[in-house]
Structures are given as structure tokens and as C-alpha cells.
């Protein structure tokens, strides 16, 4: 498997170094023959090439089997005419990575964020290519308009194709889990756009009679997830709602630093931590690398499922199990109750994974 590795900005180089160590350990133990090719994006690419991402880099990624994208300083990239392109958006849009899959689960050894919330294991399946995100729902430019100095209009795009394929992704995933899909929407107000989304999700559900289906308005869903996250299995929703909801569920699990994330389509996939570049702690050896490491495990699993390679699926399961064991043993960063820095946490996890 050929993977392009882009460390990113802020804490990205630190967390990516830990992730690479774990990938190398997984490759050695399971015979994955991983080929990791390092390149740059974000501020380093802007300094070298005059743009945060380049057409040449995109072609490298297209020819590879997967991409690991480190955290990027996306908020600082404001003018595409100056090469300040959001790398995450760039790859999601260029590769049509329509499904953003974000698991969240509790771990023994991490105190609950909310007393009484209990244990849970759920996945947010988020549509990734349209919705309220103004940088990805028109062909050229953005879909926010400054009408007058005091008036902004932001357009939202919802299409039948994107609704159907994200719904099918969610139901396929539910068939491998507890066979329960929850549709999250705002159809009481966004009657046409979210009305179409919920109708298509229910239409797709008819192809999966074994799956239990329910739906919640997004604001009510936030309350239900906080009150009892254990009642949910697979949650499917539109882009912005899924972005917010998946951050909430990751934090409920103990830390956003545990939020793995995979952006995928039929032929391409990108592992990416759920959090940002955290420049305030960059270089302090304190960032939690587990989000990016878990994302790398998801990338291995995606490749294994797509190509029918059992050793990659086994590597993902072993990696996720090793993370749980490391947390329970205190071999983690301080945000999740551990005693190690970023580098040591990555090394300890790589050693644990290598031992089996």
C-alpha cells in the first residue's frame, strides 16, 4: 500500500511522526509492505512552492493508495489567489471524498466527561462535499455573497446524489455494527433541503430491512447525545451538522484527541485527525497523537475492505485495541489521563502493537 504523508502545520509534524512510527510497526507485524512517501502541504508548501497545495501533489495522491493529512492551519488560509488554499477542502473536493466517517467511543481508564453518560460506541457519518460549506458547493469561487456592507447571504447546496450515497454508506456501515441508523436533520425549518435528505435516507432504508431507523431534529439530537450517547450506533447527517456533532461526540468520549476520521470515496481515501493544528501547543510535545493514529488505522481498514486484504483489516483492529490498552495503562498524553508526551506515546504504542 502506497501512502502519501503530509505532516501539516502546528502540532501536525509531532503527531504525524508518532503516527508514522505506529504505521511502520503495523506494517512489520502484519506484512503490509507499506510504502510511505513524505511531502508537504500547508505553510511549508506555501513557503516552498507559493501555494499550500499544488497540482503536482494532487497527482501524486491520485496515483497512491491513500493519503495521511496532518492538521492544517486552515483558518489562516484566506486568499486562494495568493496560494492560500484549504488543503482539507482541496483534497475532499478534488478526490470527491464524499463520506466523512468519525467514530467515537469511551475507553476504560478515562473519566467520563459527563457524570452518568455511561459508555458508548457510535459513528457519525457526515456528508463531506456540499451543504453550508461555501468553498465546496459551487464550481468556481465561494457561495457566500456580500450583498451590502451589512448583508451577507450564504447558500447551501443539497443534491439527491450526495444524499443517497451518504445514506448508503451509513446503512452499509450499520450492517457491520448494531444495525441502527439515526438520521439527523432540520427538516422542520429547512423543509426542502433537509426534507429531501430525510426522504432519501428513508428510501435507502427500505433496502436494509434489518436496520432499525429513527430520526431527530439536530438541536434535539445534541441534547439526546449528551444525555444518553449509548443509545446511538450510526448517525447520518449533512455536512455542517455532522461536523459539529462529531466534535461533540469525540469530546464526550474523553478528548477530541481521540477522534479518528476517514474521508473516503470509492477509489480514494484520506486519514485525517478530527482536530485542528493547535498552534498554541505546537513544539511542546504535549499533543495527543491518537486521533491521527486512529485515522491511520481507519485508512488501513478502508484499503483492506476495498481490496479484500484481511491483513489490513486485522491491522486496524490490532491498532485500535492497542490504543485502548495504552490508555488503560497510562501510556498516553495528559489530556486523557496519561503521563507521556507526544513522541513517547507514539513510541510506546508502536512497541505495544509490535509485541502483539
Q: Which of 89, 107, 133, 233 is catalytic?
A: 133
Q: Which of 65, 107, 186, 208 is catalytic?
A: 186
Residue 81 grid coordinates: 489567489
In this structure, is the dihedral angle defined by the CA atoms of residues 215, 219, 220 and 223, taken in order, positive or negative? positive
Q: Which of 39, 96, 215, 247 is catalytic?
A: 247
Q: How far apart are CA 224 and CA 273, in angstroms?
A: 25
Instruction: Give Cβ neighbours of residue 101 (< 8 Å, ≥ 6 apart).
Output: 123, 124, 125, 126, 169, 173, 261, 262, 264, 298
* Strand spans (E) along the chain: 2-6, 35-38, 66-69, 99-105, 121-127, 144-148, 151-154, 180-185, 212-217, 234-237, 262-264, 269-272
* Strand spans (E) along 108-192: 121-127, 144-148, 151-154, 180-185
Q: Which of 199, 219, 228, 267 is catalytic?
A: 219
Tally: H helices and E strands in the chain: 11, 12
Please say if the pLDDT value at position 134 is more than 70. Answer: no
Q: What is the pTM of this model?
A: 0.93
Please say if the pLDDT value at position 112 is more than 70. Answer: no
pLDDT in tens, 200-236: 999 999 999 999 999 999 999 999 999 999 999 999 9
Q: What domains can you pick out in the chain, each with its CATH number?
A: 1-97+300-356 (no CATH), 111-252 (3.40.718.10)
Note the Cα 185 to chain centre separation in Å: 20
Average the pLDDT over 46-71 and give the result.
Answer: 97
| Nearest alpha carbon to residue 9 among 52, 71, 67 | 71
Please report which confidence band the pLDDT of residue 116 belongs to, taking 50, 70 and 90 as the band edges. low
Active site residue 207: no
Active site residue 243: yes
pLDDT in tens, 75-106: 889 888 899 999 998 999 999 999 999 999 99
Amino acid at each position: 500500500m502506497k501512502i502519501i504523508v503530509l505532516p501539516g502545520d502546528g502540532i501536525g509534524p509531532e503527531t504525524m511522526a508518532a503516527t508514522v512510527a505506529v504505521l511502520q510497526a503495523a506494517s512489520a507485524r502484519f506484512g503490509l509492505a507499506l510504502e510511505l512517501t513524505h511531502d508537504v502541504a500547508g505553510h511549508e508548501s506555501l513557503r516552498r512552492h507559493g501555494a499550500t497545495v499544488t497540482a503536482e501533489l494532487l497527482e501524486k495522491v491520485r496515483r497512491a493508495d491513500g493519503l495521511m493529512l496532518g492538521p492544517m492551519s486552515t483558518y489562516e488560509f484566506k486568499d486562494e489567489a495568493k496560494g492560500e488554499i484549504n488543503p482539507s477542502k482541496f483534497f475532499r473536493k478534488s478526490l470527491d471524498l464524499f463520506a466523512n466517517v468519525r467514530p467515537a467511543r469511551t475507553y476504560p481508564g478515562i473519566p467520563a466527561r459527563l457524570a452518568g453518560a455511561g459508555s458508548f460506541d457510535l459513528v457519525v457519518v457526515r456528508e463531506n462535499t456540499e451543504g453550508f460549506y461555501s468553498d465546496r458547493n459551487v464550481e468556481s469561487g465561494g457561495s457566500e455573497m456580500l450583498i451590502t456592507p451589512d448583508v451577507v447571504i450564504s447558500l447551501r447546496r443539497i443534491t439527491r446524489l450526495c444524499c443517497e450515497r451518504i445514506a448508503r454508506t451509513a446503512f452499509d456501515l450499520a450492517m457491520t455494527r448494531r444495525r441502527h441508523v439515526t438520521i439527523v436533520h432540520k427538516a422542520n425549518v429547512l423543509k426542502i433541503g433537509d426534507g429531501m435528505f430525510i426522504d432519501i435516507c428513508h428510501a435507502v432504508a427500505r433496502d436494509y430491512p434489518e436496520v432499525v431507523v429513527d430520526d431527530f431534529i439536530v438541536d434535539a439530537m445534541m441534547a439526546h447525545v449528551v444525555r444518553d450517547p449509548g443509545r446511538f450506533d450510526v448517525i447520518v447527517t449533512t455536512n455542517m451538522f455532522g461536523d459539529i456533532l462529531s466534535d461533540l461526540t469525540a469530546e464526550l468520549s474523553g478528548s477530541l484527541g481521540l477522534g479518528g476520521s476517514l474521508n473516503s470515496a470509492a477509489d480514494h481515501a484520506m486519514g485525517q485527525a478530527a482536530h485542528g493544528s493547535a498552534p498554541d501547543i505546537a513544539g511542546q510535545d504535549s499533543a495527543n497523537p491518537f486521533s491521527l493514529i486512529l485515522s491511520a488505522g481507519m485508512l488501513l481498514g478502508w484499503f483492506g475492505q476495498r481490496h479484500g486484504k484481511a491483513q489490513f483489516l486485522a491491522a486496524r483492529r490490532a491498532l485500535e485495541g492497542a490504543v485502548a490498552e495504552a490508555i488503560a495503562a497510562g501510556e498516553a498524553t495528559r489530556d486523557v489521563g496519561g503521563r507521556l508526551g507526544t513522541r513517547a506515546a507514539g513510541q510506546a504504542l508502536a512497541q505495544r502493537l509490535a509485541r502483539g
